[in-house]
A and B are shown apart, each in its own frame.
Chain A
């Protein structure tokens, strides 16, 4: 039987504390790109009880995504926004999920990201990461920005870190290992970086701002 909104809220508040649950349930986080990083980050945020999650991606689920992204084989061909929305609704049925099936660029970032408190950069392309980071830092200096950079290969898990670059800007990853170096992307290490990003987002929501 489907639990009620109150039952889920109370179960989370019992585990996370009432103060955290109150803050997290009213937070709005935009996850830009829902591939290996973004799909895992969104699931962590939904499980923690983030009240409003805005997922943005233009792509469809492909067989090559199954090694690390939170999609199922029967979802191949679906838009990632539709597939992940479905998965999130099973985990957190009362979470308000806004899904935009669009490619984010300099021309639409201001409009699409205007309502969120925290922007999570979870693209795979290095230049797209830089475009998003620069646009958010220039146009929304008051928003928090949590980026991911460097999680390719099967290198040590311990090299992935969270760094606070400036007041509202954080970056997670090893900062070095590029997928372009043909070292591959592994679910385990991508999830570590996604875990860092999701953890920092939850820390910010709870009022803990150091990395």
Chain B
């Protein structure tokens, strides 16, 4: 189990796969894994595994 924005999810894979699984577009998010920012270029190589805590901020337009 991993925790995404405080919710437990049964998932293992890369950050890219997690974003696909959640239906979030890569271009509109910021992802933190265990309190460290994950650079966009690393999404494809960064694995998420049991016990990891993620915060995914999704940006919507308007300002």
A residues in contact (CB < 8 Å) with B: 33, 35-38, 122-127, 129-130, 133-134, 137-138, 141, 147-152, 165-167, 169, 171, 173, 175-180, 185, 190
Contact = CB atoms under 8 A, between A and B. Distances in A.
B44 interface: no
Contacts of B63: 33, 35-38, 122-124, 129, 148, 151, 185, 190
A165 B57 contact: yes
Nearest to B56: A165
Q: Which of A36, A126, A167, A171 has the most CB of B within 10 A?
A: A126
A130 B28 contact: yes
Q: Which applies to chain B's interface (DSSP): helix, strand, loop or mixed?
A: mixed
11 contacts: A124-B62, A125-B61, A126-B28, A137-B30, A150-B62, A151-B63, A165-B30, A165-B32, A166-B35, A169-B32, A178-B61
A85 B59 CA distance: 28
Given A137-B30, A137-B37, A167-B35, A126 B59 contact: yes
Nearest to B30: A133
Interface string B41-63: 00000000000000101111111
A129 B39 contact: no
Contact of B60 (A133, A141, A175): A175
4 tightest A-B CB contacts, nearest first: A179-B62, A178-B60, A124-B63, A137-B37
A177 B32 contact: no
Contacts of A166: 32, 35, 55
